[in-house]
Structure 1
Amino acid sequence: MPTNTSTETASTTARDDGRGGPPAPEAAPGATPEPASERGQEPPAGAATSGDAAPRPKEREHRFDVDLLRLVASCAVIITHVSAALIHAVDQQRANGEAVYWAGFVGDSSTSFAVPVFFAIAGWAVVVGAPPKDSGRLWQRLARNTLPMFVWTAIYLVWAFTRDRNEDPIADLAVDSLFDSVQPAYHLWFMYAYLPIIVMLGFVVLLRAGQRPWGLGLLLLGLAGLAPALSTLHEVTGWETPRVGWGFGTYSVIYAIGGAFLLAAARPVPARWRWPLVGLALVSVLGIVWYNTDIHYVIPNAHPFVGVLSVCVILLLVRVRVPERRRALIGRLANAALGAYLIHVIFVEELVDRFVEPDFSAVQVAFFLPGVLLMTLALSYAASLLWGRLGLRRYLG
């Protein structure tokens, strides 16, 4: 998912294995639920309705724990890509630099929960947290995520063009990006999987509410038939057709539905289970490190090790009490998470890829890795907060 390197090979590997992603938007990094005024609201039980006074609507609960979970997952994606830069600096070979090799693999493996957690939050947001009231609201959600996605694709293409990093003509890459993520915006592959899941779950929610969202149904049908249609066009005409990334796998749907189930919990996990969950999470990380180093890099998001780690992270944070004095800050950062996700690859390539050396010693890595991690996180979030203040969130995420 959002991926691990800036090379074409890394992009393909990330797409096939499902690593490296965001952001997910409404439920992914940076997306926000519909305002309370736009949500379906019910009057509180026993509300007075006499006279001219209208019943007071019951406001949907704001989940500060979900804000925190979204923030943690978005930071984890950035850590994943910074760590992956170290892995590729040594060409995935321990002999090329042991300290860099292990720092990269431990960092990358420890944050493998990020993409599954984004799918989980997405499922909760659509099914439980802020289900769409009608098809128009769902179209608005799609637009809020699709516009920044394509704006940033254009920014990355122009940036790579000015840096002479595009391997193909920029016009060809722009056309290809309508169907799948492209270099150098490799990390945006997640959006091509996230948005169809939002459409599908929202479609089901609206059907359950007695509506008939024909437009969304036709969109789903079009997404399902896009790849076969282009394949047939290639067979008939011989034209080279773009690769299609719109769609989702079984694992992503299960994470979305499972996430809706786990995040709908009414109470936090009892204290007696928390340390066992931490222990199980650490064991899962060790399993992921082993798989990444001895079996195949990158471990698929559908792997049981990743699934167990993701469930542990969710259960440790679900319904956790966020102190009131921290809520406003966490809310602002969570709302800036999508923008940070969209821009952070520029900082990874300009800071980490540029300065990491495969022969760094353990002491050098101990200073270098935290330094570039903090710098990348700070710059990414600062940029997102800035354009949020300038009223550009709609375009830049």
Structure 2
Amino acid sequence: MTPPTSVPGPRPPAGPATGAEPVAHAEPAATTAPAEPAATTAPAATERTAPARRPHRYDIDLLRAVCACSVIVGHVGGEFMAAVGKSAENGAAAYWTGLFLDSVTSWAVPMYFAIAGWAVLVGAPPRSGSTLRRRSLRMIVPVGIWSAVYLAWGWWRDTNGRPVWKLALDAVFGTVQPAYHLWYFYAHVPLILLLGFVVLLKAGKRPWGLVAALVVISAGPTAAGDLARLTGWDVPRFGWQAGTYSLVYAVVGALLLSLPATPRRHRGWWLAGAVAALGAVLWSQDRIHFVIPNASVFVAALSVCVLLAVNGVRIPERARPALTRLTDAGLGAFMFHVLLLKTVSPWFVSADLGWLGTAGAAAALTVVTVVPSFGLSFLWGRLGLRRVLG
């Protein structure tokens, strides 16, 4: 899985839908009520003009929560791959453990893009440019704060490799080490702006501020390159870009998530397809390229199979409150987990543990990373810091 980000997420990449306004409800569209006789009571008029709300999609909440956990598990696998230099000759157990963990979670970032597309195009279409601005800020603000945290952490540990001020400037335009996983949001924000612009244009709106933002996003890479060539300056890379593959995932995801619920008798077939696609991803990562690109046809097949296996699955009433809290904490856990993972992984990761020891170490490192990451996110959510920390 290409390291992020969204949901959400993600988001982003969550996370990425990650960090946006609740995506499982449609925002009520503006309606014009017909003229009522003077004798009509207010409550009756309210009933006739109140916009219907789209039912909450708890199956999408489930996907978002699992995506957040999967990104963390994939990064745990990356630590084992790094320990053996991405070569089985340096430790077969660590290599195959890392390869499997990264492969089995490779669908998570594409799923964040798919959920984002569904949110903008189907679940909660924006009503104005200000709606998109609010959604963007709910990702941009935490990204800025966590970038500063990671740079301070790297400065304290003397692992940044470049002056903090230089990395901070670079982070304004594109993700940097050690906050490499935040790349997802540099792709997610342009994606929702582009899709949201299409929605608003179709609705007859003229969001000129959004047009200006899209012009900056589209012209940024060329302008940065030209400036560097003309001046000889070390101009930061302009990373606020949505790739073609992310746009395709978003549009196809909107289509598939708007389909009727997958019949229970068909879910097993989609899960079987996911297993077959996972085998192809493992083969590709071992024989062709690690990390496998998100645009790989094998990753796309795995992502589609997982999505259709889960689409419309019914979440029991008693589990819904816990799932909602877990989903809300997913963005914060995504933002924070790399700091914790990089700190504790040297205690668990080794190329010389053998098969049983490596499996135990991977499981322990996953728990030690996932549980505190979500726990801290729950905490700052209770303290009302979700808008600034994700």
TM-score, normalised with respect to structure 1: 0.91
What's the counterpart of residue 55 of structure 1? Answer: 46
Q: Which portions of structure 1, spanning 4 or more consecutive aligned residues, are displaced by more than 4 angstroms?
A: 24-27, 34-38, 41-44
Are 2:112 and 1:123 equivalent residues in the alignment? no
**Distance change >3 Å, CA 26–CA 125, structure 1 → 2:** farther
What residue is the counterpart of 1:247 in the other structure? 241
- 1:200 Cα deviation (Å)? 0.3
Question: Is it true that 1:22 corresponds to 2:15 in the alignment?
Answer: no
Structure 1 pair 36–78 and aligned structure 2 pair: CA distance change class (3 A): closer
Matched residue, 1:212? 206
The percent of aligned pairs where both chains have the same amino acid is: 44
Letter in 1 for 2:325: R
Partner of 1:133: 127
Q: Which residue of 2 aligns with 1:40?
A: 29
Q: Is residue 2:296 matched to residue 1:307?
A: no
Check conservation: 2:132, 2:193, Cα contact below 8 A. yes
Q: What root-mean-square deviation, in Å, do the aligned CA atoms of Structure 1 and Structure 2 show?
A: 2.2
Corresponding residue for residue 286 of structure 2: 293
Change (3 A) 1:37 1:111: closer
Q: Secondary structure, in 3 states, of the residue corresponding to 1:178? A: helix
> Deviation digits for residues 41-64 of structure 1, max 9, x if unmatched?
6699xxxx9422233322232111
Matched, 1:69 2:69: no
Give the secondary-structure state (helix, strand or coil) at the position aligned to 2:172. coil
Q: Which amino acid aligns with 1:367?
A: G
- State the alpha-carbon separation in 2 of the partners of residues 36 and 120 from structure 1: 16
Shift of 1:355: 2.9
**What's 2:36 paired with?**
none
The 1:365/1:341 distance shift into structure 2, 3 A limit, reads: same
Task: Give the letter for the 1:52 counterpart.
Answer: A
Structure 1 distance, partners of 2:20, 2:26, is 17
Range that drifts further, 57-66 or 25-34 = 25-34
Q: Deviations over 1:283-340 (max 9, x none)?
A: 1111111111111111111111100100011101111000000101111110111100
Counterpart contact for 1:2–1:22, Cα < 8 Å: no
Name the aligned partner's letter for residue 301 of structure 1: N
Alignment partners' CA distance in 1, 2:142 and 2:214: 21
Question: 1:342 Cα deviation (Å)?
Answer: 0.3
Counterparts of 1:70-89 in structure 2, within 5 Å, are: 70-89=64-83
How many Å separate the matches in 2 of 1:255 and 1:392?
31
Contact 1:231–1:241 (CA<8 Å) still a contact in 2?
yes
Give the distance between the partners of 1:2 and 1:22, measured in 2 at CA: 13
Q: Is the 8 A contact 2:146 2:389 kept in 1?
A: yes
Provide the rounded CA distance (Å) in 1 between the counterparts of 2:94 and 2:24: 45
Does 53-62 or 23-32 show the bigger shift?
23-32
The residue number in structure 2 matching 1:177 is 171
Measure the CA separation in 2 of the matches of 1:34 and 1:316: 20
Deviations 1:123-145 (A, max 9, x none): 00011111111111111111111
Matched, 1:95 2:89: yes
Per mean C-alpha deviation after superposition, the further-off stretch among 212-221 and 367-376 is: 367-376
Aligned residues: 379
- Corresponding position of 1:11: none
Kindly tell me: are residues 102 and 43 of structure 1, through their superposed partners in 2, closer, same or farther at Cα, counting changes over 3 Å?
farther
Deviations 1:142-181 (A, max 9, x none): 1111000110000000011101111000000000001110
Counterpart-to-counterpart distance in 2, 1:276 and 1:237:
58
Q: Name the stretch that deviates more: 199-208 or 348-357.
A: 348-357
Matches within 5 A, 1:148-227: 148-227=142-221
* 1:227-269 deviations in Å (ceiling 9; x for gaps): 111111111111111111111211110000001111112x321
Check whether the contact 2:280–2:298 (CA below 8 A) recurs between aligned residues.
Answer: yes
- Alignment TM-score, normalising by the size of structure 2: 0.92
Gaps of 5+ in 2: 34-38
Q: Structure 2: which amino acid aligns with 1:278?
A: L
Give the AA of the match of 2:46.
Answer: P
Which whole-Å CA distance do the structure 1 matches of 2:93 and 2:199 have between them?
49
Q: Are the equivalent residues in 2 in contact too, given 1:21–1:190 (CA < 8 A)? A: yes
- Partner of 2:46: helix, strand, or coil? coil
2:370 to 361, 377, 389: 377
Q: Partners of 2:279 and 2:85 in 1: how far apart?
A: 21
Q: What is the identity, as a one-letter code, of the residue corresponding to 2:264?
A: A
Counterparts of 1:42 and 1:26, CA distance in 2: 31
Equivalence for 1:112: 106
For the residues of structure 1 that align with 2:119 and 2:346, how far apart are their CA atoms?
35
Contact between 2:78 and 2:102, CA under 8 Å: does it hold in 1? yes
